[in-house]
Structure 1
Amino acid sequence: MFAKNKTQDENSFFYEFAHYVDMVPRVERSIEPKFQNVFSRVFRDHSELEAERLFIVGTALTTPKITEVTDTWPKPWLFARVFVISLLAFAGFYIGVDYFRNINFIPGLLMIGASAVPLTTLIFFWEMNAPQNIAFYRVIFVGFIGGILSMLVALVFFDILKNNINPITIGITEELAKAITVISFVRYRKYRYILNGLLIGAAVGAGFAAFETAGYALRSLMSGDAQNLYITILWRGLLAPGGHVAWAALTGAAFCRVQGDDPFRLNMLVKIKFLRVFLLVVLMHALWDTPITGMFPFGQIFLMVASWIVVFLLIRAGLKEIGAKKLMV
C-alpha cells in the first residue's frame, strides 16, 4: 500500500497514519492556503476505520513527535459527517415534537438544536490541529467545563456592571470571560502551539455557544411561541461558526502565539500580538450585538466571514510555527 523506498522519517507510524487518512502525496501539499483543497475530502467516501483512527490521536502513546508532524494544510472531513448526523437527529426530534406532539422529544430538540453547529465547528478545529496532541475526550471536557465556567465568569462581570450593559460592555464581558477560561487551560504549556490554542479556544466557545442557544430556545418555548423556538435555533445555528466559537478560538491562538514555550506571565496579556486579536474579537462581538438597522443578518454574515479570514490566517501561522520548530530539532 505504501512505497518501499521511504526515508526513515516516512516509515514512522505517524507518517503512515497521516498518509493513510489523507491519501494526498506530500509533493502535492503546500503550507499556503488553498481553500478549494482544504475541503477537498468532504465529499469523498470514508470508511469507519478512517474515523476510528482519527479518534486515537492525542494520547501519551499516540502523540507524534514534532519531527513527525506534517506542517501542511490538513484536509478535514469528519466534521461534515457529524453535521449530517446532527441534522438527522434534529429532524427526528422535530417530527416527534411537531407531528406527534410528544413533549418527551423537547429536551432532545433543544440539546441537538443548540449544539449541532457548535459541535460541528469544534470537530473542524480538532481535525485542523496538526500536532495531534490533544485527545478528543480532552476536547469534550474543555467544551463542557470551559463552556459553563466562561458563562459563570461572564455572569459575575454582568452582576458587577448591573445597569451598565450595552453592546460594548457585553462584548468586553463575554470575551474577557472566555479569554480567562481559555488561558486557564493553556497557560501550563502542555498545549503550547498556536493550533492548540485555536482548538482549546474553539472548545470553550462551542460550549458557551451551545449553552447560550439552549437558554434562548428554552425562553422561546416557555413563552409559548413554538415558531420563534425554531427561528432561534435556525439563525443561531447558521451564525454560530462566526460567533463565540471563532472568537474564543482566535483568543486562544493569539495567547499561545505570545506564550510559546515560555512560562505564563501576566505581561503576556498586554503584548501587541495578543491585544490586537483580543480587541478585534471584542469589537466584532460588540458590532454583532449592535441594534443597527440591517445588521441582522447581513452584518453578522459579514462579521462571520471576517472572523474566518483571521482564523485561516492564524491556522497558516500555526503551520509555519510547526515548520520552524521542526527545523530547530
Structure 2
Amino acid sequence: MKCPECVYVNPEGVKFCINCGNKFFQDTNTNQDSNSLFYEFAHFVDLVPKQQRSIEPKFQNVFSRVFRKHSELEAERLFIVGTALTTPKIEEVKETWPKPWLFARVFLIALISFLGLFLGVSLFKNINFLPGLIIVGAFAVPFTTLIFFWEMNAPQNIAIYRIIYVVLVGGILSMLVAVVFYDILKHNINPITIGIVEELAKVITVIYFVRNIKYRYILNGLLLGAAVGAGFAAFETAGYALRALLSGSFHNLYTTILLRSILAPGGHVAWGALTGAAFCMVQGNKKSDLNMLLKPKFVRIFILVVLMHALWDTPVSGIFPVGQIILMLLSWFMVFRMIRSGLKEIGNKKWLLNKDVL
C-alpha cells in the first residue's frame, strides 16, 4: 500500500504510513481488521472488563487491579499494541479510565534487581556490582512511573520499543539541550532559570517526537513527555549517584538514590508529561510548529510547571523534604486532570465520527 503523502510502500493491512504516520482511510465494509489475529487475541484477553471501568478517577477504581492475579497472556496483550498492524481504530478505543497494573510488576522486578545488586556491594564487597546498582537505582522508579503512563494511553498507538527509544534518545537529547541553555545563561543560574531551561529543553525534545500527526492525542503527549522526563530524571540521578560515590561515602550513594527515587514520580516525569500533553492539546491535528508554544493553553501549563520546578529546587527547612512532597501531590493532581481531558478528547472524537456516519 503506497502512501499518498510520502510515497512510502507499506505492507498491506496497515492503518497508517509507517514512514510519515499519514492515516489511510479504508473501506468500512472490509472485515480484515476484525478477523486479524491481533483482534482475536485482544478480544480474548480484554484488559479491563467494561463493567469495571470508571468515568471519574477514583483511586479505589483506577488502582483496583494492581493486587489481583494476572496471567502472562494479559501482559503479552499489553506489549503487542502500538504497531501499524496492532493499533486499534478510534471507534474501538474506550474513553473510560483504564485499570493499570503492569507498572507495579515492573517496580517489583526492579526492586528485586536493586536488592540483589545492593547485597553484592554491601555483603560481598564486590565493586563490580556498583555500575548496575547505580543504573538500576536511577531507572527503577522513573521507568515504573512511565509504564503507568503507557498503560493509561487509551489510544494504544505507541509501541513499547518506541517508548524505550524516546527514554534513551529523548533523555540524552533533552539534557544536551539543557546544557546548551545553561551555557548561555551561565551567569544567571537560579531556581527560576533552572525551571525554564530544563522544562523548555524537555518540551523541545517532545516536539521532535510528536512532529507528525501520528501522535496527536493529549494522552500521546502525556506519554511521550513522561518518556523524555523519565530519561532526563534517570540520567540525572545516575550522575548525582556517581558524584556521591566519588565523595567516598557509600551512605551518600544509597541516600541519594533512595531520596531521588521516592521523589521521582512527582519531578521530571510528571512535569514532562504535563508539558507534553499541553503541547499536543494545542497541536491537535496540525503539524508541529514552535509558534504553538505561545498558545495561551500551553503557556499557562508551562508557567505552572516551571514554578513547581523552581519551588522544588528552593531549599526547604526540615529533615524531610515536605515541600517536595506537596509539589509532587500537586503535580499528580494536574496529571489526573490531564488524563481526564485526554479521555474526554477520545470520547469527543468518537462522537464526531459516529455523527458523521449517521
Q: Which moved more, 1:259-268 or 1:71-80?
A: 259-268
Distance 1:173 1:18 in 2: 45
Q: 1:202 Cα deviation (Å)?
A: 0.4
Aligned to 1:305: 329
Task: Check if 1:276 corresponds to 2:294.
Answer: no
Aligned to 1:242: 266
Q: Which runs of 5 or more residues in structure 1 are unaligned?
A: 1-7
Q: 1:295 Cα deviation (Å)?
A: 8.9
Mapping for residues 21-170 of structure 1, pairs under 5 Å = 21-24=46-49, 26-170=50-194
Q: Which moved more, 1:291-300 or 1:179-188?
A: 291-300
Q: 1:16 Cα deviation (Å)?
A: 7.1
Aligned to 2:42: 17
Distance 1:57 1:198 in 2: 17
Q: Which structure features the higher share of helix residues?
A: 1
Q: Which runs of 5 or more residues in structure 2 are unaligned?
A: 1-30, 354-358
Task: Check if 1:202 corresponds to 2:226.
Answer: yes
Between the two structures, name the one with larger relative contact order (CA 8 Å, sep ≥ 6).
1
Distance 1:171 1:82 in 2: 30
In 2, are the aligned partners of 1:113 and 1:233 still within 8 Å (CA)?
Answer: yes
Mapping for residues 200-279 of structure 1, pairs under 5 Å = 200-279=224-303
Cα 1:319–1:23 change in 2 (3 A) is closer
Task: Check if 1:317 corresponds to 2:341.
Answer: yes
Distance 1:19 1:287 in 2: 48
Aligned to 1:5: none
Distance 1:188 1:47 in 2: 36
Distance 1:292 1:76 in 2: 34
Q: 1:296 Cα deviation (Å)?
A: 4.8
In 2, are the aligned partners of 1:201 and 1:245 still within 8 Å (CA)?
Answer: yes
Amino acid at match of 1:215: G
In 2, are the aligned partners of 1:14 and 1:68 still within 8 Å (CA)?
Answer: no
Q: 1:219 Cα deviation (Å)?
A: 0.4
Q: 1:23 Cα deviation (Å)?
A: 4.3
Q: 1:239 Cα deviation (Å)?
A: 0.2
Amino acid at match of 2:42: F
Q: 1:163 Cα deviation (Å)?
A: 2.4
Normalising by structure 1, we get a TM-score of 0.93
Distance 2:165 2:312 in 1: 28
Distance 1:140 1:16 in 2: 24
Q: 1:158 Cα deviation (Å)?
A: 0.7
Q: Which 4+ residue blocks in structure 1 deviate beyond 6 angstroms?
A: none
Distance 2:348 2:41 in 1: 22
Distance 1:103 1:42 in 2: 36
Identity, % of aligned pairs?
A: 72
Distance 2:81 2:248 in 1: 45
Distance 2:279 2:148 in 1: 20
Distance 2:48 2:118 in 1: 38
Cα 1:18–1:79 change in 2 (3 A) is farther
Aligned to 2:209: 185
Distance 1:15 1:234 in 2: 43
Task: Check if 1:291 corresponds to 2:321.
Answer: no
Q: Counterpart of 1:40 in 2: which secondary structure?
A: coil
Cα 1:175–1:23 change in 2 (3 A) is closer
Task: Check if 1:172 corresponds to 2:210.
Answer: no
Paired residues in the alignment total 319
Cα 1:201–1:291 change in 2 (3 A) is same
Distance 1:103 1:29 in 2: 48
Aligned to 1:3: none
In 1, are the aligned partners of 2:53 and 2:61 still within 8 Å (CA)?
Answer: no
Q: 1:21 Cα deviation (Å)?
A: 3.7
Cα 1:227–1:35 change in 2 (3 A) is same
Distance 1:220 1:143 in 2: 24
Q: Counterpart of 2:45 in 1: which secondary structure?
A: helix
Aligned to 1:4: none
Q: 1:293 Cα deviation (Å)?
A: 2.1
Cα 1:309–1:18 change in 2 (3 A) is farther
